[in-house]
Amino acid sequence: MEEFDSSDGRLPDGWRPVLGSWRVEDDALVGDSLDGEAVITFGDPAWQNCEIEVSVAFLEVKNDSRWASIVFRALPDGSPPWFQFPLRQKSTAAGGVEFAVRLDEGWSVRQRGSDATDCELGRPRRLRVVVSGTVVRGYLDGRPVIESPFCLERATGCVGLAASGCRAKFDDFSVRRLPDTLPVAVAPQPCDIVAHRGFSAIAPENTLAAIRKGIGAGADACEFDVRKSKDGVIVLLHDETVDRTTNGAGKVADLTLADLRKLDAGSWKDACYAGEPLPTLEEALALLADCGGKAVIEIKVDGIAEEVLEAVRAADMLQRASVIAFSQQAVQDIRRLEPELPCGWLHGKSASGDYQQRAAWIAEEAARCGTSLVDLNYNLLFPEVVAELRRRGLEVWTWTVNDPPVMQALSAWGVKSITTDRPDEAVRALGRAAPR
C-alpha cells in the first residue's frame, strides 16, 4: 500500500510523471490538470494481470464532467495505447464512470456506467480495477460499475493515475499482481458489415448519399431508420423530429411528404451535401436493389409493419432485406405478417447474472418476439454470452462498433453481423478486399 507520506513533497521512488504537475501534499499524491491532462506511471511494463485500488478526491474541477482515473497496461512514458477507468465529478451522468482506451487519435470509450451519487469536492471515493486477460472489471466504493472484455490493444503494461480538467488527490494506492493468462488468439470469421444509417461517419445519416457511400466502401448492407409521415409515407429518419438532421423543425408524424421534401437533410453534415433530400423507404430500397446491397430496416414506431412489408415486396427485396426493432410488438408484427423476412429484436440495456443467465434472459425475450435473431449493443457481449446464445439456436448481430480490434474480436466469437459508422475500417479489420 502506497500512502504517499513523503515529508519533503517529492514523489516516492518508482513514480514517473508523464504529463501535468504531480506532487505529494498532506500525505497524498496530488495531480494538477486544470489546464489539460496529467498522467503518472508506476511499475513494470511486463505486468499482465493485476488488481489496482486507490482513493481519489476532487479538490477543484473545471466543470463537473472532468475526471480522475486509474491507468493500466501503459508504457512508462505514457505513449498510447493505454487503458483507464475514470471517475467523473458528476458520476451520476451517463459515462460518470467509463472504460476507455487512449489511442494516437484520441479516446475510444468501450463502456459507460454511472453511480447513484455525484462526487463532492474533498470527499474520497474508492476506485478498484481488476484486469485479467482481455476482461476489465471496475468498482466504485466496492460496487461493480464496469465490465468489458475489450482490453485488446496491449496485453501487458505498467499502471498509473491520470486526471483531466481538475486538481485531484490520490491516496492509499495499491497494486496486486494476478496470475498471468494465456494470450487469446483472435481469428476473424466471416460476418456481414452493415453501414450504420449508411456511411454516417462521412455522409449525412439516413440519406441516399450515405447509402451510396456505405455500399461503395464495401458494406454488405446499409441500416436505416424508418418512420411514417402525416400522410402515411414511410421515410428515413432516426429522431422523432426533423430538428437535428435537417434545416426544419417539428415531428415527422406532423409533416406531410411535401413538407419533408422541402427540407435540406445534408448541410448539417457538410456543405458538399447541401440540398440532399430526406428519402422515402421506397427510394432507399430501389437504390439498394440497383447497387446490389442489402437493407437492414429499423422500425422506430409501432403500427407501420404492413407499410414496411409492402415496400419491401414492391422492391422485390424480400430476399435481401431484414427488419430490426427495439419494440417487441414491431418484431411480433413482422414475424406474423411475413415469417420469411428476417426480423431481429434490438436490445441495448444490461442483463444481470452470470453469462449463462444473461444469455438465457436474452433468449427468453427473443422467444416472446417469435424470433431467433438478436441485435445487441456490443457492450453486452462476451465470448461466453455469444457462445451460449448460439448454443440456444440464436443468431447474434451487434451494433455500433467502430474500433477495428473490437470488430475482429466480435467476429471471432461468432457474431454474424456488425453494424458500424466506419464500414471502410471494418473492411480492413476483417480482412476483406478493398472495393474498387
Catalytic residues: 196, 238
Q: How far apart are alpha carbons 30 and 137 in whole angstroms? A: 25
Distances (CA, A) of 131 to 55, 173, 181: 18, 16, 11
Which grid coordinates are listed for 174? 495499491
42 and 174 Cβ atoms separated by less than 8 Å: no
Q: At what angle do helices 305-314 and 281-291 cross, to 10 degrees?
A: 30
Write a three-state SS string for 263-295: CCCCCCCCHHHCCCCCCEHHHHHHHHHHHCCEE
In the block, cell 432485406 appears at 321
C-alpha 354, offset from chain centre: 21
| Tally of residues, the chain | 436
65 and 93 Cβ atoms separated by less than 8 Å: yes
Say if strands 343-347 and 321-325 run parallel, antiparallel, or are unpaired.
parallel
In the block, cell 482506451 appears at 101
What type of residue is 153? E
Does residue 307 sit in helix, strand or coil?
helix
Which grid coordinates are listed for 255? 409533416
CA distance between the termini of the chain: 58
Which grid coordinates are listed for 235? 421515410
Q: Which of 55, 69, 72 is nearest to 135 (CA)?
A: 72
- Within 10 angstroms of residue 268's Cβ, the number of other Cβ atoms is 16
In the block, cell 442489402 appears at 294
Q: How far apart are alpha carbons 363 and 323 in whole angstroms? A: 18
Q: How far apart are alpha carbons 417 and 424 in whole angstroms? A: 15
Percent helix, strand, coil in the chain (nearest 5)?
20, 35, 45
Q: How far apart are alpha carbons 16 and 86 in whole angstroms? A: 19
